Amino acid sequence: MRGRDKYCITVSGTTNSEIWHEIRNVLGPTPSTVSGTDVILNEDIAEYNDWVNEYGNVPFDKWLIWKLRVGTKRYGNLPENKKHINKIGHVWSPCPYSTQSSDLNTRLRLGLGKLDPLPAKVDHTLGGITYYMETSSRGARWGFECNCPSCTYLLLYGRKYFYV
């Protein structure tokens, strides 16, 4: 089977068991049986029922495909290790006034030459959350804004640093 065939799964079954067999035959692992009972089938159906009782109704086929492709039984949410819950903003865009920013990045963002002194930098991590630049607008201009409450620029000038 070609890799892209796995993206189009046609489900024709009507019961959870039929749907489960159709999806597992495509995405795996193949079912194992103990005493005539599909162990993985029972585990998947129990997890699905727990999820439905806690979060609401979603078709079993969508839930199972999500679980097998994304790796989490929480339908609609990415697993913890795939999302960054300890940051605000774009990781690739540190504020030039933060210690997370390289000296080169600071010089480029602020238009400083090689001999110009660098501004005072502070750590943009507060309470375990690291602040990076966020996409923002000022009227018709779009750019990046620092929302860290301890940013040197904010403390010196009384407004958030904004980069276009």
The answer on 128 and 68 residing in a single domain is no
Residue 7: per-residue pLDDT: 57
Residue-wise pLDDT for 98-127, tens only, equals 998 888 888 888 989 889 999 999 999 988
The answer on 113 and 71 residing in a single domain is no
Q: Give the domain-ending residue among 61, 81, 101.
A: 81
The answer on 91 and 118 residing in a single domain is yes
Which structural domain range is residue 62 located in?
3-81
The answer on 118 and 65 residing in a single domain is no
Residue 54: per-residue pLDDT: 85
Q: Give the domain-ending residue among 81, 109, 144.
A: 81
Q: Give the domain-ending residue among 81, 102, 117.
A: 81
Contacts of 47 (CB under 8 A, 6+ apart): 67, 73
The answer on 107 and 65 residing in a single domain is no
Residue 123: per-residue pLDDT: 92
The answer on 70 and 113 residing in a single domain is no
The answer on 66 and 8 residing in a single domain is yes
The answer on 100 and 74 residing in a single domain is no
The answer on 70 and 53 residing in a single domain is yes
The answer on 76 and 16 residing in a single domain is yes
Residue 78: per-residue pLDDT: 65
Split into its structural domains, the chain has a count of 2
Task: Determine if the pTM surpasses 0.95.
Answer: no
